[in-house]
Amino acid sequence: MSSQHRNFIDGDWVESNSGETFENRNPADTKEVIGEYQQSTAEDAEAAIEAANEAADEWAAMPGPERGRILRKAGEILADRKEELTQTLSHEVGKTTSEAGGEVQRSIDIYAYYAAKASDFGGTVKESSSPTTHLYSQSEPVGVAGLITPWNFPIAIASWKMAPALAAGNTVVLKPASLAPGIIRELVEALEDAGIPDGVVNFVTGPGRSVGATVSSSPDVDAVSFTGSHSVGEKVRKQAVDDGKRVQLEMGGKNPTVVMPSADVDEAVDIVAGGCFGVTGEACTATSKAIVHEDVYEEFVEKMVDHVESIEVGPGLEDYDMGPHISESELDSTLDYVEIGQQEGATLETGGNRVTGDGYDDGYFVEPAVFSDVTNDMRIAQEEIFGPVLAIIPVSGFEDALRQANDVRYGLAAGLVTQDLTEAHEFANRAEAGIVKVNEKTTGLELHVPFGGFKDSSSETYREQGDAGLDFYSISRTVYMNY
Ligand code: NAD
């Protein structure tokens, strides 16, 4: 039997004033309801925003090391519960337990990292032109941060927004994606158990168009950080900017990896496949197209097909290589793109069918797919698929490969596999992407360096993670103290 869960507002677990809930089902077996969550309204979101405002001054006034102590404790609680959280995450979104465990560990590490940053938060002292002026800048929290998050890395993304926001002394209202509220509820519980004061963290589940839109447009929210699709991100940008608030958007991707003839083809296949098919292709930084030099193209296609045909698809909680899609609409979208690719004239080398049969019929399982003979103008080479589909494009040289890698509206991650140092540096300098990986898969990020995209992948305002992650949640005041 599934349990019913509540919102967290002003330190209490409360029901929505709608009196309604929505169900969350296991994507590997949709007969199973794994939780019921509040179908909240704009009024619930407003109550959370009010609580965050009331708690703001006291939290901002708490010394940084003390805020850091609470964040560190939250990280320790997550670590103590890692096994259980890993199961919850795998159950809820379908990723394998090894992928889910990696994501939970990322959250633990993020809390430890920003716990330390809470003590460093402060400012700088500079020499003044006047001998009697003490010249310094000091950082302050922005106020109330509205955080709107997607389902694909639910606990990691909520953590890499919430931990720096709290470290810098902001209070938060968090609106999770309705496909993955359960793991975020556990995160909020860890913060509660760590002693976060009432009203500092608020969690409201429900529809984006009411709860999310209230968070992004409320005059009582000072900053909005959003991660999700480009189409929703643009709405959030408009709602937030119209109200004059600070906004940060991280959105979709269509990430290329270029493979040059100096590459070891087996290694290139591992790098591209790891970036494309991990987490069922549901990563914003997933490799979605391989742009492969004609000298190694045939060998690459052949070895990629062998590799992909060895991927075992099944429930993430069991010992399979690739779990199901999160939802029917994501599954349908992948199947549609497989159809579109064939209509466009690309060659479907392998995969692309829904996986059916005993143990599969009630889940959103799909075979990983590989297309060859793709041209860069095809929709499968231009649009975000967000599923395990690889488009392979043949090219005749480095400049052509770089041009095709950049010829796309998105600019999140771009990869290159080569042994040529000149190509590596040229690519690092000229790829139009916020993350460049040479001889590494496009997915997988380190938490202490900036993360964010170019072009339609990002608002390009502020970066997330690392020291840069604190910038969005803080504002600096410069003091000229002439004594
Ligand atoms: P989505 O855009 O559908 O939803 C994201 C969040 O926005 C959800 O919480 C949703 O409820 C909320 N929302 C919906 N309508 C809203 C509105 N009108 N106002 C305010 N909020 C609203 O995205 P998704 O399907 O959850 O996630 C997948 C997408 O996220 C993909 O496009 C992926 O590339 C992107 N993503 C980007 C990054 C990155 O860092 N660039 C990371 C992960 C995922």
- Is the shortest distance between the CB of 180 and ligand 1 below 6 Å? no
Dump pLDDT digits (tens) for 39-61. 999 999 999 999 999 999 999 99
Q: What is the reported pLDDT for 342? A: 98
Residue 446 lies in a domain: no
Beta bridge partners of 172: 145, 201
Residue 361: other Cβ atoms inside 10 A: 13
Residue 240 lies in a domain: yes
Same domain membership, residue 19 and residue 64: yes
CA distance 443 to 276: 8
Residue 443 lies in a domain: no
Cα dist from 35 to 6, 178, 181, 302, whole Å:
11, 11, 9, 43
**Ligand 1: centre distance to CA 150 (Å):** 4
**Ligand 1: centre distance to CA 346 (Å):** 29
Residue 39 lies in a domain: yes
Domain of residue 410, CATH code: 3.40.309.10
Q: Which atom of ligand 1 is nearest to the CA of 178?
A: 11
Q: What is the reported pLDDT for 121? A: 85
Same domain membership, residue 185 and residue 319: no
- Is the shortest distance between the CB of 280 and ligand 1 below 6 Å? no
Cα dist from 132 to 127, 129, 135, 480, 483, whole Å:
10, 9, 9, 10, 6
Residue 444 lies in a domain: no
Same domain membership, residue 464 and residue 404: no
Overall average pLDDT of the 376-391 stretch: 98
Joined together, the tokens standing for residue 204 give 């409201």
Dump pLDDT digits (tens) for 296-337. 999 999 999 999 999 999 999 998 999 999 999 999 999 999
Active site residue 284: yes
Residue 451 lies in a domain: no
Nearest CA to ligand 1 atom 39: 250
Same domain membership, residue 275 and residue 245: no
% of the chain residues with pLDDT over 70 = 100
Domain count across the chain: 2
Q: How confident is the model at residue 243 (pLDDT cuts 50, 70, 90)?
A: confident
Q: What is the reported pLDDT for 168? A: 98
Dump pLDDT digits (tens) for 249-268. 999 999 999 999 999 999 99
- Is the shortest distance between the CB of 229 and ligand 1 below 6 Å? yes
Q: What is the reported pLDDT for 233? A: 97
Q: Beta 435-438 vs 413-417: how paired, if at all?
A: parallel
Contact 369, 389 (CB under 8 A): yes
First-to-last C-alpha distance (Å) of the chain: 69
Residue 225: other Cβ atoms inside 10 A: 29
Same domain membership, residue 196 and residue 181: yes
Beta strands in 418-473 (DSSP E): 435-438, 454-455
Q: Beta 287-293 vs 389-395: how paired, if at all?
A: parallel
Give alpha helix (H) positions in 168-260.
182-193, 213-217, 230-242
Q: What is the reported pLDDT for 2? A: 65
- Is the shortest distance between the CB of 148 and ligand 1 below 6 Å? yes
Q: How confident is the model at residue 468 (pLDDT cuts 50, 70, 90)?
A: very high
Domain of residue 54, CATH code: 3.40.605.10
Q: Beta 171-175 vs 410-411: how paired, if at all?
A: unpaired
Residue 453 lies in a domain: no
- Is the shortest distance between the CB of 74 and ligand 1 below 6 Å? no
Same domain membership, residue 218 and residue 107: yes
Of 110, 271, 272, 284, the active-site residue reads: 284
What range defines the domain where residue 78 resides?
Answer: 7-251+459-482
**Ligand 1: centre distance to CA 305 (Å):** 31
Residue 383 has pLDDT above 60, yes or no: yes
For the chain, what is the radius of gyration of the CA atoms? 23
Joined together, the tokens standing for residue 189 give 């519980």
**Ligand 1: centre distance to CA 321 (Å):** 26
Q: Which residue has the tokens 């496009």?
A: 442
What values do phi and psi take at 406, rounded to 5?
-85, -15
Same domain membership, residue 172 and residue 262: no
Residue 1 has pLDDT above 70, yes or no: no
Residue 200 lies in a domain: yes
Same domain membership, residue 275 and residue 226: no
Same domain membership, residue 369 and residue 277: yes
Dump pLDDT digits (tens) for 142-183. 999 999 999 999 999 999 999 999 999 999 999 999 999 999
Same domain membership, residue 110 and residue 38: yes
Same domain membership, residue 278 and residue 172: no
Same domain membership, residue 277 and residue 244: no
